Amino acid sequence: MPLRAILAPYDKSGLIDLARGFEALGIEMYATGNTFRILTEAGVAIKPVSDLTGFSEILDGRVKTLHPGVHGGILARRDLPAHLAELDEHGLKPIDIIVGGLYPFQETVAKDGVKLEDALEQIDIGGPTMLRAAAKNFLHVLPVVDPADYNDVLDALRNNETPIDWRRKLAVKTFQHVASYDTAIATYLRGHEQPFPDNLTLALTKKSDLRYGENPHQQAALYKQVNPLERTPEGIVNATQLHGKALSYVNILDADAAWCAVCDFDDPTIVIVKHMTPCGMASREDLAEAFALAFAADPISAFGGIIAINRPVDGALAKAIRNTKHPTSGQRLFVEIIIAPSFTTDAVEQLSKSKDVRLLEAPAVNMRRRALEHRGVVGGMLVQEYDRLASDPPELKVLSKRQPTDAEIADLKFAWTCCKHVKSNAVVVVKDRSMIGMGAGQTNRVQSARIACSQAADAARGAVSASDAFIPFPDTVEVCAEAGITAIIQTGGSIRDEDSATVCDAHDMALVATGVRHFKH
């Protein structure tokens, strides 16, 4: 008895070659509308699915394969004589191969101005049903959903070798394909109005395997989220690599932190990140000057760091990076990754002289528009809105007697944005839109202030400071005062705000509160 196959993939890649291969193997083939037409025109011997169902397509093609003539043939167990007898009783035939692929829902809803009616018409019903039926019965039926598997399928059939483990992999791929498809539909229909549904699935597509995870003994891979609500590609996962070896797990984490940080600034800005924490940030119209300032903030940490620039990289900036030396060894600055929206040809030529650096062109991240972020914990996942507030706090409330100057306010806002990207407890010191000191990840805030002021050293005099949350005790303010800082921005709301204000008044410092916390754990 010949094998039977139904061919109904939306993506016609490799379809004709597959069908001709089936034909050479004597497989009896059936197809739906457009697939039937294409294969008939190609000279392939194929029959319409209506020969199995006894019905033509109805409802503008909404119903093609939803019939016992199709699903009885797919779902019948070949190891149960009763099932085969029942097929005979109803004049039905076993179906052994389903080649499917679903309507382009994701591509449709990504278009500007798409209407709900258009989206609904791209929700495939018959395709997923056939694929799920074949995957359920994979012990007897081959579910084929990926054109990349066509050659393997043909080889297996030619050699009459279709082992169970291989069939299982085809079934897994099929169920996952349908699950991702359903996730995209649910995400689109849910929209932004229901950010935290009772049940949540994420559709992820593997972009690449990684050499290893955080450590060499850990395996890892990079996945890209399939989200119909995010129509514009953003971030490191959508970056194009122009030069250098493959990114590692840690590289990607650091690059993401650097790119999200620099994209939070409107002015031309450079951010240098080490271990997911900015060690230098500066804004200047002259990017070479911005780099020099960002590097000077912590030149030791910058060695082996990630440089992110929110403007195109030109030859002048590339030269400045190439000519920078380690402060103690005199060695040329080693950089893991440089990320920017684009690079000039001259910049690529200069920077590519270092075989170790990776150059990434990345689409900007709109930090004011980002919806949700997901963070794994053992046995589950945390989901929250992105911290979309940037350099303009909702309201600045002056807690001290002295009002901050206009120049101080500009630096305070810059410092407040810097704090957003530094691990809590975060304290930063800023002068003239350049971060010159940073204390991060400490278990108490006063220690972060000590580190930040120590790093800034004499440059702290006349600078401003920011705290990512309220200042619980005036000792943090006292550390800043001793360093010569003139203004502090913090969340406010501590029961000891008056004590902190008193210290500021005693040193003629300005103290302002945002009413908003910027924790980054």
Say if CB 417 and CB 399 are below 8 A apart.
no
Q: Tokens at residue 248, please? A: 């590692």
431 is catalytic: no
How far apart are the C-alpha atoms of 71 and 92, rounded to whole Å? 10
How far apart are the C-alpha atoms of 489 and 408, rounded to whole Å? 10
- Which residue is catalytic, options 12, 140, 224, 275? 275
State the CB neighbour count (10 A cutoff) for residue 375.
10
Q: Which of 228, 258, 518 is nearest to 393 (CA)?
A: 518
Q: Tokens at residue 452, please? A: 């930040």
Task: Give the list of residues 6+ apart from residue 179 with CB closer than 8 angstroms, or none.
Answer: 201, 203
275 is catalytic: yes
State the CB neighbour count (10 A cutoff) for residue 180.
18
How far apart are the C-alpha atoms of 513 and 395, rounded to whole Å? 8
Judge if the upstream peptide bond of residue 215 is cis by omega within 30 degrees of 0: no
Question: Collapsing DSSP states into helix, strand and coil, what is residue 506?
Answer: helix
Report the interhelical angle of 81-89 vs 68-75 (nearest 10°): 160
Say if CB 294 and CB 271 are below 8 A apart.
yes
- Which residue is catalytic, options 47, 136, 224, 507? 136
Cα torsion at 84, 87, 88, 94 (round to 10°)?
-70
Active site residues: 136, 275
